Chains A and B, each alone.
Chain A
Amino acid sequence: MRDLLTLPAVWVLAAVAAVFAALSPQFLTAGNLINVLIQSSAVGIVATGMTFVLLTAGIDLSVGSVMFLGAAVCGVLVGGGWPWWAGAVAMLAVGPACGLLHGLAITRLGLTPFVVTLSSLFVIRGLGLWVSRTRAMNLPDDFRQLATERVLGVPVPVWLFGVVLLASQWVVGRTRFGRHVLAVGHDAAAARKAGLDVGGVLVRVYLICGACAALGGLVALAQLSAVSPTFGRDREFDAIAAAVLGGASLFGGRGNVLPGVLVGAVTIQTVYNGLNLIDADPYSYPVITGGVVFLAVLADSLRNRLRGGRP
Chain B
Amino acid sequence: MSGRLVLPAVALAAGLALLPGCGKSGEKPVTVGVAFETLQTEYWVASFETLKAELAAKNIKVLEAVADGDSNRQLEQVNTFITRGVDGIILVPKDGTAAMPMIEAANAANVPIVLYNRPPARKEGKAVAVVADNRSITRDTVKYLCELAKKTGKKQKAVLLMGDLADLNAIGRRDGFDDAVKEYPDAVEVVARVPTEWNQEKALAGLTNALQANPDVGLIFTSSDFLFPSVVSALKTRNLYHKAGEPGHVLLGGFDGDATAYQMLKDGYLDADGVQDMQFECMKSVESVLKLKAGEPVPDLIPDPGFVIHQGNLAELAPRMWGSKVKK
**A contacts, CB < 8 Å to B:** 24, 26, 29, 31-32, 35, 39, 42, 122, 126, 129, 133-138, 141, 144, 147-148, 220, 223-226, 228-231, 233-235, 269, 272-273, 276-277, 279, 282-283, 285
Complex CA–CA separation, A162 to B192 (angstroms)? 31
Contact A272 B202 (CB under 8 A): yes
B328 touches which one: A35, A135, A277 (CB < 8 A)?
A135
Interface centre among B40, B192, B208, B226 (most CB of A within 10 A): B40
Q: Are B200 and A272 in contact (CB under 8 A)?
A: no
In whole angstroms, how far apart are the Cα atoms of A148 and B235 in the complex?
Answer: 12
User: Per a CB cutoff under 8 Å, which of B191, B213, B233, B328 touches A223?
Assistant: B233
Q: Are B259 and A136 in contact (CB under 8 A)?
A: yes
| Interface contact A129-B212, CB-CB below 8 Å | no
Evaluate contact between A134 and B42: CB separation under 8 angstroms. yes
Chain A CB within 8 A of B236 CB: yes
Leading 4 A-B pairs by shortest Cβ distance:
A226-B229, A276-B209, A282-B195, A229-B40
> Which residues of B (197-230) have their CB < 8 Å from a CB of A?
197-202, 204-206, 208-210, 212-213, 226, 229-230
Judge if B237 is at the interface, Cβ distance under 8 Å.
yes
Minimum distance in angstroms from A32 CB to a CB of chain B = 5
* Residue of B whose beta carbon sits closest to that of A25: B213
- Tell me the interface secondary structure of chain B in the complex: helix
- Contacts A135-B328, A233-B199 given; indicate if A276 touches B229 (C-beta within 8 A): no
The yes or no answer to B293 lying at the interface (CB within 8 A) is no
Partner of A138, one of B39, B208, B229: B229
Q: Report which of A220, A225, A276 forms a contact with B213, defined as CB distance below 8 A.
A: A276
A285 and B212 within 8 A (CB): no
- Chain A hits for B210, CB < 8 A: 276-277, 279
Can you pick out 16 interface pairs between chain A and chain B where the beta carbons lie within 8 Å of each other?
A39-B205, A39-B208, A135-B326, A136-B42, A137-B328, A141-B236, A144-B236, A147-B233, A148-B237, A229-B42, A231-B201, A272-B205, A276-B209, A276-B213, A277-B210, A279-B192
CA–CA, A279 and B213, complex, Å: 9
Q: Complex Cα distance A272/B196, Å?
A: 11
- Residues from chain A with Cβ under 8 Å of B213 in the complex: 24, 26, 276-277, 279
Q: Say yes or no: A228 contacts B226, CB within 8 Å.
A: yes
Q: Which of A133, A225, A234 contacts B199 (CB 8 A)?
A: A234
Task: Say whether B279 faces chain A, with CB atoms less than 8 Å apart.
Answer: no
Q: Which residue of B lies closest to A128 (CB)?
A: B40
Complex-state Cα separation, A285 to B165, whole angstroms: 11
| B68 engages A224 (CB within 8 Å) | no
Q: Is B41 an interface residue (CB 8 A)?
A: yes
Bound complex: CA A223 to CA B229 (Å): 10
- B165 partner, pick from A31, A129, A282, beta carbons under 8 A: A282
Give the distance in Å from the alpha carbon of A39 to the alpha carbon of B45 in the complex.
31
Total interface residues on B, CB under 8 Å, equals 40
- Complex interface bits, B175-209 against A, C-beta within 8 A gives 1, otherwise 0: 00000000000000001111101111110111011
> Please, which residues of chain B bring their CB within 8 A of the CB of A283?
165
B165: A residues at CB distance < 8 A: 282-283
**Per-position binary interface string of chain B over residues 50-81, scored 1 when its CB falls under 8 Å from any chain A CB and 0 otherwise:** 00000000000000000010000000000000
| Interface residue? B324 (CB, 8 A) | no
CA distance A15 to B52 in the complex (A): 55
A223 to B204, CA, bound (A): 8
Chain B contacts to A: CB under 8 angstroms: 39-42, 44-45, 68, 162, 165, 191-195, 197-202, 204-206, 208-210, 212-213, 226, 229-230, 232-233, 236-237, 258-260, 326, 328
User: Which residue from chain B places its CB closest to the CB of A126 in the assembled complex?
Assistant: B68
Minimum CB–CB distance for A27 against chain B, Å: 9
Q: Specify which chain B residues have a CB less than 8 angstroms from the CB of A135 in the assembled complex.
A: 42, 326, 328
Contact with B229, one of A42, A126, A228 (Cβ below 8 angstroms): A228
Q: Closest residue to A67 on the B side, CB-wise?
A: B201
Given contacts A39-B205, A273-B205, contact A136 B260 (CB under 8 A): yes
CA distance A114 to B308 in the complex (A): 47
CA distance A122 to B209 in the complex (A): 32
Q: State A32–B211 Cα separation when bound (angstroms).
A: 10
Instruction: Determine if A136 and B236 form an interchain contact, defined as CB atoms under 8 angstroms apart.
Output: no
Q: A26-B213, A230-B40 are in contact. Are A224 and B195 (CB under 8 A)?
A: no
Q: Are A35 and B40 in contact (CB under 8 A)?
A: no
Q: Which residues of A contact B260 (CB under 8 A)?
A: 136, 138, 226
* B150: min CB distance to chain A, Å: 23
Write the nearest CB–CB distance from A149 to chain B, whole angstroms: 12
Within the complex, which residue of A26, A134, A285 is in contact with B39, where a contact is CB–CB below 8 Å? A134
User: Could you tell me if B192 and A276 are in contact, using CB atoms closer than 8 angstroms?
Assistant: yes
Min CB gap B282→A, angstroms: 17
Question: Which of A234, A277, A282, A285: most chain B CB closer than 10 A?
Answer: A282
